[in-house]
Amino acid sequence: MPQGRSIEHSNHGALLSLRPVADPPEPAPEGRVTDIDQWGRSAKARALIARLYGPLYRHWFRAEWEGLEKIPAEGGALLVANHAGAIPIDAPLIMHGIEQELGRPVYGLADYFFRRFPAVGTAWSRGGGVPAHPDNAYRLLHDERQLALVFPEGTKATGKVYSQRYKLRRFGRGGFVDIAMRAGVPIVPIVIIGSEEAMPTLAKSAALAKVLRVPYAPLTANMLVLGPLGLLTYFPAKIRFRVLDPIYFDVPPDQERYPRSHVFDEAEAIRQAMQDQIYDMLRHRRSIWFG
Amino acid sequence: MGRRILITGIASFWGSRIAKALESHPDVDVIVGMDTDAPVIALERTEFVRADETYSILSRLVTATQVDTVVHAGMIVDSARVGARRIHELNTIGTLNLLAAVGAAGSPVRSLVVKSSTMVYGAGPQDPYWFSERMPRVAPARTSVERSLLEAESYLSAFVEDNRHVRTVTLRFANVLGADIDTPLGRALTLLLAPRIAGFDPQIQFVAQDDVVRALQFAVEHRDLSGIFNVAGAGRLPWSEVLSLAGKAPLLLSPFATRLIIAPLSRLGLDLPPEIIDLLRYGRGVDTRKLLHAGFTYQHSTLSALQEFVEGRRLKAAVGEITPTYRYESDVEAFFRHSPAVVAPG
């Protein structure tokens, strides 16, 4: 956990510009030939992804937001969402959605697992993916005042089978709350429905996962219907997002340590609030495909 | 009374350069340089002492010369041309002997400056993007040079605990680039095709050769400075961009079984040490704010260090070596330093 992150945080202002960072984050210094930033994100790559994702976002999933204005227009904030689908579509959709609607870049914090794979890891970081190391999150949120997205359930959520849909898993060890407190930024919960039905997992093979060295090896309904093409194709479920009220923590930032029980209680409260909202949205959903 | 300084690794690029830089200080009385080989550049007044690999003469030397400052620049960080055995002797055992001599009862040494490397952080998929000095490495140390540096640094931290009266500065340098120095990444960028692991585009951080010397000098001069400091140019560059800025086409290496593939290629001049292969996969960044807060200013960022390197290479390609090659001749050096026939300038 955050053993690192050491030095005089109070003095950061002298060295780092703390203005909110627009897209592209920094004007490329004289002599650069790419626009790849310090996190590996490229605004050009993002624009390309936006061209690919735009139609998917608008026409396939017909994504709709509720409460988008609750996401801060400037300053750091940690976005927290529920995670679903064998190859989850939620991260790219949220990142695309917020970048399009609010014009702010979103860095997606995810398991370092991606980095081990050639091409996949590079593409992921060009699109704004960052390994979910506490120090990375702190820098993004505190030093650079960016938006960062995290799925506290981790692969426990994307690896669950369809019968477990919309039941939030444990929120890790509450590390996301700890980081937000440390960085002095609010947590903005986002709940998503439709993502579970876009690529539902019917069964899993632990043995195959072990051989492939991946967290889980799913058999999805998409594969059953479409064969190998199902690996890449999502069902056109209607995707709805709801942004919950930002949570500001009443604690001083940059503490060595925050009481475990406090962190846990906050994490659990956020989980419960998100679970309630998911049930509320499902209660009002008439159809999986039409919302 | 002026300062009396002992420099280990005087034959190395850094040892020679720091000695040369300190020679021009009026308040430095004596500079003694020690190494297994002779210095590689002409030095005015540095006295050279030949030592064996494990620096066993060190305690005698320290007592005899009454030095107040030791600059330990002798640790090997480029493992391409040095065997694991010698790395262990020089880095681990050499540092151990050095610390024993410096910490001995009655030792006159009050300042110790150690040149280490950001290699102590390793390079792996679980790493943070920026290591600060207090963060432990994540990836296990598998290569001899990384292990020896970690061992040397652990001896050093024990030394710091036990010898509060000795000001100890450890400088961890990022990958060095410079037209005059032979480094693994510098070599990679001078090949016909520069190696790149297919599918990976790590973010690399450089430090310019001049900033290395300046940082060592800064640590020697600032008597209130102590602790561990990262030294690296601002910013990081994707390796693909480094190649295009250096005007190199990539030699794409398989991301699988990379080490096996590289072994036969070493005959063609591609000698990538294993720790560099990890670097070309995952990259490494270090936080340099601690040294900046201490008042050090860099002349180069990662980008300008690379540009400087590229320009230096171009010049070399056009006109060849600019500095004449130097060979140490002990009787010539002894004559100029000690003969009554030599008239001191001024």
Hey, where are the domains in chain A? Answer: 44-283
Cross-chain residue pair B287–A7, CB shorter than 8 Å: yes
Nearest CB neighbour to B128, from listed A31, A121, A133: A133
CA–CA min distance A58, chain B (Å): 31
Number of domains comprising chain B: 1
Nearest CB neighbour to A3, from listed B135, B236, B301: B135
User: What are B's interface residues with A at a Cβ cutoff of 8 A?
Assistant: 125-136, 197-201, 203, 235-238, 240-241, 244-245, 255, 282, 285, 287, 289-290, 292-293, 301, 303-304, 307
Cross-chain residue pair B128–A4, CB shorter than 8 Å: yes
Using CA atoms, how far residue B318 sits from A112, B245, B312, in Å, is 45, 19, 10
Given the cut 0.90, state whether the ipTM is greater than it. no
Q: Quick one: how many helices (H) and strands (E) in chain B?
A: 13, 13
CA–CA min distance B294, chain A (Å): 11
Cross-chain residue pair A33–B245, CB shorter than 8 Å: yes
Poorest-pLDDT segment among A11-20, A39-48, A112-121, B279-288: A11-20
Nearest CB neighbour to B303, from listed A15, A32, A130: A32
Q: How confident is the model at residue B328 (pLDDT cuts 50, 70, 90)?
A: confident
**Two tokens, residue B145:** 């040079």
pLDDT, mean of residues A34-43: 93
Q: Which residue has the higher pLDDT, A230 or B295?
A: B295
Residue of B nearest to A116 (CA): B125
Do the Cβ atoms of B205 and B284 come closer than 8 Å?
Answer: yes
Nearest CB neighbour to B307, from listed A8, A31, A113: A31
Cβ neighbours of A133 in B, within 8 Å: 126-129
Residue B346 domain-assigned (yes or no)? no
pLDDT, mean of residues B151-159: 97
Nearest CB neighbour to A118, from listed B198, B235, B292: B198
pLDDT given at position B230: 98
pLDDT given at position A25: 42
Does residue A98 register a pLDDT over 60?
yes
pLDDT given at position A23: 41
Cross-chain residue pair A6–B132, CB shorter than 8 Å: yes
Q: What is the mean pLDDT of chain A?
A: 88
Residue of B nearest to A41 (CA): B238
pLDDT given at position A15: 38
Does residue A24 register a pLDDT over 60?
no
Cross-chain residue pair A38–B129, CB shorter than 8 Å: yes
Dmax over CA atoms of chain B, in Å, equals 65
Nearest CB neighbour to B303, from listed A11, A29, A121: A29
Does residue B226 register a pLDDT over 90?
yes
**Two tokens, residue A107:** 């860095």
pLDDT, mean of residues A193-197: 94
Using CA atoms, how far residue B323 sits from A200, B39, B52, B214, B306, in Å, is 68, 15, 29, 20, 21
Give the separation between CA A211 and CA A39, rounded to whole angstroms.
31
Cross-chain residue pair B132–A131, CB shorter than 8 Å: no
Cross-chain residue pair B292–A29, CB shorter than 8 Å: no
Residue B343 domain-assigned (yes or no)? no
Q: How confident is the model at residue A6 (pLDDT cuts 50, 70, 90)?
A: very low
Q: What is the pLDDT of residues A235-259, one digit of tens each?
A: 999 999 999 999 999 999 999 899 9
Cross-chain residue pair A135–B282, CB shorter than 8 Å: no
Q: What is the pLDDT of residues B20-33, one digit of tens each?
A: 999 999 999 999 99
Q: What is the pLDDT of residues B94-151, one digit of tens each?
A: 999 999 999 999 999 999 999 999 999 999 999 999 999 999 999 999 899 999 999 9
Cross-chain residue pair A38–B285, CB shorter than 8 Å: yes
pLDDT given at position B52: 84
Residue B48 φ/ψ, nearest 5 degrees: -100, 135
Does residue A3 register a pLDDT over 90?
no
pLDDT given at position A78: 98
Does residue B346 register a pLDDT over 80?
no
Cross-chain residue pair A112–B236, CB shorter than 8 Å: no
How much of chain B, in percent, has pLDDT values that exceed 90? 72
Q: What is the pLDDT of residues B183-197, one digit of tens each?
A: 999 999 998 899 999
Q: What is the 3-state secondary structure (H, E, C) of chain A?
A: CCCCCCCCHHHHHHHCCCCCCCCCCCCCCCCCCCCECCCCCEHHHHHHHHHHHHHHHHHHCCCEEECHHHCCCCCCEEEEECCCCCCCCHHHHHHHHHHHHHCCCEEEEECHHHHHCCCHHHHHHHCCEEECCHHHHHHHHHHCCCEEEECCCCHHHHCCCHHHCCCCCCCCCCHHHHHHHHHCCCEEEEEEECHHHHCCEEEECHHHHHHHCCCCCEEEHHHHHHHHHHHCCCCCCCCEEEECCCECCCCCCCCCCCCHHHHHHHHHHHHHHHHHHHHHHHHCCCCCCCC
H/E run at residue B142: none
Name the 3-class secondary structure at B212.
helix
Mutation target among A26, A135, A138, A212 for the B interface, most CBs of B within 10 A: A135
Name the 3-class secondary structure at B200.
coil
Residue B26 domain-assigned (yes or no)? yes
Poorest-pLDDT segment among A98-107, A281-290, B250-259: B250-259
Q: Which residue has the higher pLDDT, A159 or B240?
A: B240
Helix, strand, coil: what percent of chain B each, to 5? 40, 20, 40
- What's the CATH number where B110 sits? 3.40.50.720
Could you identify the residue written with the tokens 């002997």?
B97
Does residue A8 register a pLDDT over 90?
no
Its domain, for residue B244, covers 3-338
Nearest CB neighbour to A36, from listed B127, B198, B241: B241
pLDDT given at position B282: 95
Chain A, chain B: beta-carbon pairs less than 8 Å apart: 100
Do the Cβ atoms of A104 and A147 come closer than 8 Å?
Answer: yes
Cross-chain residue pair A118–B307, CB shorter than 8 Å: no
Which 8-state DSSP code applies to residue B328?
-
Comparing CA positions, the residue from B78, B36, B39, B70 lying closest to residue B53 is: B36
Cross-chain residue pair A115–B125, CB shorter than 8 Å: yes
Q: What is the pLDDT of residues B67-77, one digit of tens each?
A: 999 999 989 99
Residue of A nearest to B280 (CA): A118
Cβ neighbours of A136 in B, within 8 Å: 128-130
Residue of B nearest to A120 (CA): B199
Q: What is the mean pLDDT of chain B?
A: 92
Do the Cβ atoms of B171 and B231 come closer than 8 Å?
Answer: yes
Q: What is the pLDDT of residues A67-91, one digit of tens each?
A: 999 999 999 999 999 999 888 899 9
Residue B59 domain-assigned (yes or no)? yes
Do the Cβ atoms of B222 and B294 come closer than 8 Å?
Answer: yes
pLDDT, mean of residues A104-128: 91
Cβ neighbours of A121 in B, within 8 Å: 125, 199-200
pLDDT given at position A28: 55
pLDDT given at position B142: 87
Residue B344 domain-assigned (yes or no)? no
Q: How confident is the model at residue A266 (pLDDT cuts 50, 70, 90)?
A: very high
CA–CA min distance B125, chain A (Å): 6
Cβ neighbours of A4 in B, within 8 Å: 128, 131-132, 134-136
Cross-chain residue pair B134–A136, CB shorter than 8 Å: no
Nearest CB neighbour to B282, from listed A5, A115, A135: A115
Reply yes or no on domain A44-283 having CATH 3.40.1130.10.
Answer: yes
pLDDT given at position B103: 94
User: What are A's interface residues with B at a Cβ cutoff of 8 A?
Assistant: 3-8, 11-12, 15, 29, 31-34, 36, 38-40, 112-113, 115-122, 130-131, 133-136, 139
Residue B260 domain-assigned (yes or no)? yes
Q: How confident is the model at residue A29 (pLDDT cuts 50, 70, 90)?
A: low
CA–CA min distance A136, chain B (Å): 6
